[in-house]
Amino acid sequence: MLTSPPVTRDEVSTLRLAIGGVSGGFAGAGLGLGTGLLIGRASCRSGPNSRDFCGLADGLAGGLAGLTIGTPIGVHLANHRLGNGIFTVIGSITATAALLALSSTLTQGNGPPFVLMLPFEIGTAIPIERHTERP
């Protein structure tokens, strides 16, 4: 079985981790959106206008959940699994929940723009991944 030589922290650039986070975030958001739409559409009631946007809120919630989980997983995989993936995901979820709660409080329930979620996720996942790296 072929194995690659061990990778050290110096060999993995922050740009590579950010690209991994973006890729994981988009993949997670896509999977979450699709899953949320399927679940939401299955629970729709029949009626003359009920099918128009039925399941959209569930799809958006699934997309946000997928983004929140996919981004730190992408960072962890881009780092050649040197850090602790569980801590990276849990830390990223905790930081995102805190951001949503704080933003919702400060903006009277409007919440943060979703465009800021991906950079925030990457900005929290990379330091956690770096801090938990094995030597």
pLDDT tens for 7-47 read 555 578 999 999 999 999 999 999 999 999 998 888 776 55
| Domain contains 29 | yes
| Domain contains 28 | yes
Comparing 103 with 123, which gets the higher pLDDT? Answer: 123
| Domain contains 62 | yes
| Domain contains 117 | yes
| Domain contains 2 | no
How does pLDDT run across 43-89, given as a tens digit for each residue?
A: 776 555 555 677 888 888 899 899 999 999 999 999 999 999 999 99
> What's the Cα-to-Cα distance from 73 to each of 20, 22, 38, 46, rounded to whole Å?
8, 10, 23, 38
| Domain contains 40 | yes
pLDDT at 101: 81
Domain range holding 66? 14-131
pLDDT at 124: 92
Return the amino acid letter for 40.
G
Residue 64 contacts residue 115 (beta carbons within 8 Å): no
Q: Is 60 exposed, middle or buried (0-12, 13-18, 19+ CB in 10 A)?
A: middle
| Domain contains 67 | yes
pLDDT at 99 over 90: no
Q: Read off the tokens for 122.
A: 């990457």
Question: Looking at the 3D structure of the chain, how many domains does it have?
Answer: 1
| Domain contains 4 | no
